[in-house]
Amino acid sequence: MEDRAEGGKSKRIAKRVMQFHGPLIHGRLMRRYKRFIADVVLDDGRQISAHCPNSGSMKTCQTPGWRVLLTTSENPKRKYRCTWELVHNGVCWIGINTLRANAVVLEGIHRGVVGELAGYDEIRREVRYGTNSRIDLLLSREGDPRLCYVEVKNVTLVGEDGSYCFPDAVTIRGRKHLDELSSMVAEGHRAVMLYVIQRSDGCGFRAAHEIDPGYAAALREALAAGVEAYAYRADVSPQGIRLAEGVAVRVV
């Protein structure tokens, strides 16, 4: 299978765990605020502000005092040189960087973990489609006009019932993505919503209807329209992130 960026350049995806570049910096969370900033006290006692690559509420994964791991950037133009990657809740590591999810799915597809997406010859990323949208992954096979549109969502929330849940905040954009996928099914293509769970202390997946009932309703409508929904848990550790196993999806 070949992975092809929208610009036309292609490359093979290495069949290994998604690894972090450079050594990870250890610390403890002080607070997360303004959505994209986190204050951290490092193990050497220094206090820094780091970029938080997660626009959600981060409910159940931002408790002050929890251990965190950060990556660093050598880009001198960045205001915050460090990026928050993982947090440990005393039970497991949680991957909070939503930008990692697509790479984790790509690695999983090439490794054969995602059986529902096997048998395709090419994957394109960030392809324009629908109404001013970009699909995360667009799969195709030679001689088959039916494409497979895959939207990827990162899951960090565990509900009070112990289920992995999405979203952790009201998301109008998430509902739009479901509508766009339904439109692709109506045009004769295949459309998949794939939830990547970056923690290991829950059981089963469902929409977080208690947080965003509109999203839960939109997911039910999309499934009725022929959109497929799958959830996969990833093994998350300081060594990297690797898609591990499918999780049952419960419609509520």
List pLDDT tens digits, range 181-192.
Answer: 999 999 999 999
Q: What are phi and psi of 177, to 5 degrees?
A: -60, -40
- How deeply is 202 buried, as exposed, middle or buried, from its count of CB atoms within 10 A (0-12, 13-18, 19+)? buried
Q: pLDDT at residue 120 above 50?
A: yes
Output the pLDDT for position 130: 86
- In terms of DSSP bridges, do strands 122-129 and 133-141 run parallel, antiparallel, or are they unpaired? antiparallel
Residue 5 has pLDDT above 70, yes or no: no
Average pLDDT score over the chain: 93
Q: Residue 13 pLDDT > 50, yes or no?
A: no
Q: Give the Cβ contact number of residue 31 at 10 Å.
A: 10
Using CA atoms, how far apart are residues 189 and 147, in angstroms rounded to an integer? 5
pLDDT at 21 over 90: no
Position 62 pLDDT exceeds 60: yes
DSSP state of 50: E
- Residue count of the chain: 252
Q: What is the pLDDT of residue 55?
A: 94
Task: Check: CB of residue 52 under 8 Å from CB of residue 150.
Answer: no
Q: What pTM, to 2 d.p., does this model score?
A: 0.92
Say yes or no to pLDDT of 11 above 80: no
Predicted pLDDT at 213: 98
Angle, helices 172-186 vs 213-224, to 10°: value is 10
- Decide: residue 24, CB within 10 A, 0-12 exposed, 13-18 middle, 19+ buried: middle
Q: What is the pLDDT of residues 68-91, one digit of tens each?
A: 999 998 888 889 999 999 999 999
- Can you read off the two tokens belonging to residue 86? 């993982």
The pLDDT value recorded for residue 9 is 36
Is pLDDT at 143 greater than 70 in this prediction?
yes
Domains in the chain, CATH or no CATH each: 25-95 (2.40.50.580), 98-250 (3.40.1350.60)
Q: What tens digit of pLDDT does each residue of 197-228 get?
A: 999 999 999 999 999 999 999 999 999 999 99
- The answer, yes or no, to whether residue 47 has pLDDT greater than 50, is yes
Burial class of residue 100 in the structure, from the number of CB atoms within 10 Å of its CB (0-12 exposed, 13-18 middle, 19+ buried) = buried
pLDDT at res. 214: 98
| pLDDT for the residue 4 | 64
Q: With pLDDT > 70 as the criterion, what percentage of the chain qualifies?
A: 94
pLDDT band at 12 (very low <50, low <70, confident <90, very high): very low
Neighbours of 98 (CB within 10 A): 18
One-letter amino acid for residue 14 of the chain: A
pLDDT in tens, 164-176: 999 999 999 999 9
Convert the pLDDT of each residue in 221-239 to its tens digit: 999 999 999 999 999 999 9
